[in-house]
Copies of this chain bind each other. A is one copy, B any other.
Amino acid sequence: MTIDKLAALRGTILFGELTETELSALAERAVERRLARGEVLFIAGDEAAGLFVIAVGAVRAYREGLDGREQVIHVERAGATIAELPVFDDRPYPSTVAAEEETIVLFIDKRDVKRLCLDHPNIAFAALKLLAGRLRRCAELVEALSLREVDQRLAHWLLSAARVRGTRGGEGLQFTMHLTNQQIAARIGSVREVVSRALTRLQQNGLIAVDGRTISIPDENALEIYADGS
Contact = CB atoms under 8 A, between A and B. Distances in A.
Interface residues of A, number: 43
B131 A122 contact: no
A118 B124 CA distance: 8
B89 A129 contact: yes
A94 B148 contact: no
A195 to B, nearest CB: 14
Interface stretch (A65-73, A155-163, A206-214): A65-73
A91 B136 CA distance: 10
A195 B175 CA distance: 42
Contacts of A73: 139, 142
Chain A facing B: main interface SS: helix
A172 interface: no
27 contacts: A63-B142, A63-B143, A63-B147, A64-B147, A65-B146, A65-B148, A66-B147, A66-B229, A66-B230, A71-B143, A71-B147, A73-B142, A85-B132, A85-B136, A88-B125, A89-B129, A94-B135, A114-B125, A118-B121, A121-B121, A128-B131, A135-B135, A135-B138, A138-B139, A142-B145, A145-B189, A146-B189
Interface of A: 63-66, 69, 71, 73, 84-85, 88-89, 91, 94-95, 114, 117-119, 121-122, 124-125, 127-129, 131-136, 138-139, 141-143, 145-148, 189, 229-230
